[in-house]
Structure 1
Amino acid sequence: MNEIEGVAPEVESILAAAAEREGGTSRLAVSARSFPEAFAAAESEGRVPVIAEVKPTSPTTDGEHDEDPVALAESMVAGGAAAISVLTEPDHFGGSPDALTAVREAVSVPVLRKDFVLREDQLDAVAADAVLLIARFVDDLPSLIEAARDRGFQPLVEVHSTTELDAALDAGADLVGVNNRDLTKLEVDLSTFEELAPRVPDDVTLVAESGITNQADVRRMREAGADALLVGTAIMDGDPETNARRLTTQDQ
């Protein structure tokens, strides 16, 4: 799709940096831990499936977190997180491939690489269990999904509109994230997920992303059809273990 026109200046800056970022020097082959299986395991244990995000900073949050990424991830898992997301974008989110590698070695749950991946060679920057592909910014989504799967990654395809969702489904995506944040204005609206979820086939694993801050938001997204939730700031701000446990506890 590669529809960059009209995005917020912060996102435009992120994409410009991503376009210049080099990929890996050798092709990766990953034996991935399954995200759907991790979500099912959380459900069977009475927990809401949550992907908790290690996010040092971002253009939409104030301040920075300089805690050890491994310690943060371990706290989130102790609080019930079914999976971990690690930012690897260095210039605007303070992330790194090294942080992801350390986290993946330390935890037993699946780990998602959160970044702005635009080209196939950028898939080879670091091994993860899943990799985020943002439908709006990818030139050839079917090819990049195939390239990710060829390496063993599970591609989590992020969408925000019906056009992007249709493109993701047409490309064969079976793990789809609906971002409630509009990358044009950087505003969050949970109704975005509610509007798109009914269009997603039952055999697609569906993740609600952004704007989930409390138990009411969790219930709202789950009732709308979310198989899992991706939560960053609401877990990072404060005690990650306590926050994760609060959001993963069923029947609040």
Structure 2
Amino acid sequence: MDETKTLAPAVRSILRAADERAEPEGRVSVDGRSLTAAIEASDGTDRTPIIAEVKPTSPTTDGTRTGDPVAIAREMEAGGATALSVLTEPEHFGGSTDALERVRDAVEVPVLRKDFLQSEAQLDAVAADAVLLIARFVDDLPALLTGARDRGMEALVEVHSREELAAAIDAGATLVGVNNRDLATLEVELATFERVAPDAPEDVTLVAESGIANQADARRMRAAGADALLVGTAIMDGDVRDRTRELVAA
């Protein structure tokens, strides 16, 4: 793992909490809905594939959204979301595995588990169609990729630089998210995706993450090669169905 001294204090706190979390008992097995296939199916239409995120709060947002995660998820799906992302990190994002389980039971689209996973055992906390693996924070990315696939889950491997992208590809990642937010500083720069994306092989499905606030941002990321967009705050900070529909139309 990278030296945590270079990270924003909030991120260091998140990682400490992840290390201290009790490991679940048992092992999950998932008949997963394919996130990649859903993105490809949406990409063949006039819609922008949106992974809409059920995001109660975060270290970079003000306040906490207290709505029922299932009701929010259904509004996102009704707005045309290709897939959903659900936070399961409890202390800093207000998420829970219970929320993910309830959302997945209530919708038909793939559901991504968003968390700071660092060990294979943490994959067993809840069944999801896909899991986020942040390349910077994983000691053995190939092992976690294999562990996720063995459980029936896809892995969205998050990177922030060309070097991390190369490591993700070497580890066998085929679904890659480029985070426009630098987790060392928590600052967002849409140009990050534009710098990193050209180095991705053509057969890799690319997701642009963070900082997408409106249709103009969505079109910019699509023009830079994004196959899908992961959007949380811009959807949660308004009428969820309408915000989702607007971005899908971009």
TM-score band w.r.t. shorter chain: over 0.9
Aligned to 1:18: 18
Q: Distance in 2 between matches of 1:99 and 1:46?
A: 31
- What's 1:205 paired with? 205
Give the structure 1 partner of residue 129 of structure 2.
Answer: 129
Structure 1: segments with no counterpart, 5+ residues: none
Distance 2:224 2:3 in 1: 28
Aligned equivalents of 1:92 and 1:3: distance in 2?
21
Does the alignment pair 1:93 with 2:77? no
Partner of 2:177: 177
**Counterpart of 1:232?**
232
SS of residue in 2 equivalent to 1:46? coil
Q: TM-score, normalised by structure 1?
A: 0.97
Which is further off, 54-63 or 15-24?
15-24
Structure 2 residue aligned with 1:31: 31
For the residue of structure 1 that corresponds to 2:51, the secondary structure is strand
Q: Distance in 2 between matches of 1:84 and 1:174?
A: 19
Per the TM alignment, residue 45 of structure 1 is displaced from its structure 2 partner at its CA by 4.0
Q: How far apart in 1 are the matches of 2:173 and 2:48?
A: 23
Deviations 1:198-234 (A, max 9, x none): 0001111100000000001000000000000000000
Percent identity reads 67
- Kindly indicate whether the alpha-carbon contact (under 8 Å) linking 2:87 and 2:114 is maintained by their aligned counterparts in 1: yes
The whole-number CA distance in structure 1 between the counterparts of 2:148 and 2:229 is 22
- Distance in 2 between residues matched to 1:240 and 1:45, nearest whole Å: 22
Q: Write out per-residue CA displacement over residues 88-109 of structure 1, whole angstroms, 9 at most, x where no aligned residue.
A: 0000000000000000000000
How many pairs are equivalent? 250
In the alignment, the residues of structure 1 paired with residue 4 and residue 138 of structure 2 have an alpha-carbon distance, to the nearest angstrom, of: 10
Please show how residues 1-252 of structure 1 align to structure 2 within 5 Å: 1-250=1-250
The one-letter code sitting in structure 2 at the alignment partner of 1:62 is: D
Q: How far apart are residue 36 of structure 1 and its match?
A: 1.7
Cα distance in 1, alignment partners of residues 225 and 239 from structure 2: 28
Structure 2: 5+ residue stretches without partners: none
- Structure 2 distance, partners of 1:5, 1:204, is 32
* TM-score, with length taken from structure 2: 0.98
| Deviation, structure 1 residue 59 | 0.2
1:22 match: secondary structure: coil
Structure 1 counterpart of 2:122, one-letter code: Q
Q: CA RMSD in A?
A: 0.9
Residue 87 (structure 1) shift? 0.1
Q: Is the CA contact 1:4–1:136 (under 8 Å) kept in the aligned structure 2? A: no
Do the aligned partners of 1:30 and 1:152 also contact (CA within 8 Å) in 2? yes
User: Post-superposition shift, 1:23?
Assistant: 2.3
Where 1:42 maps in the other structure, the secondary structure is: helix
Q: Deviation string for 1:142-196 (max 9, x for gaps)?
A: 1111111111110100000111111101000000000000011100000000000
User: How far apart, in 1, do the equivalents of 2:185 and 2:165 lie?
Assistant: 19
Q: Is the 8 A contact 1:130 1:155 kept in 2?
A: yes
Please list the CA deviations of residues 96-150 of structure 1 after superposition, one character each: whole Å capped at 9, or x if unmatched: 0000000000000000000000001000000000000000000111111111111
CA distance, structure 2, for counterparts of residue 174 and residue 184 of structure 1:
25
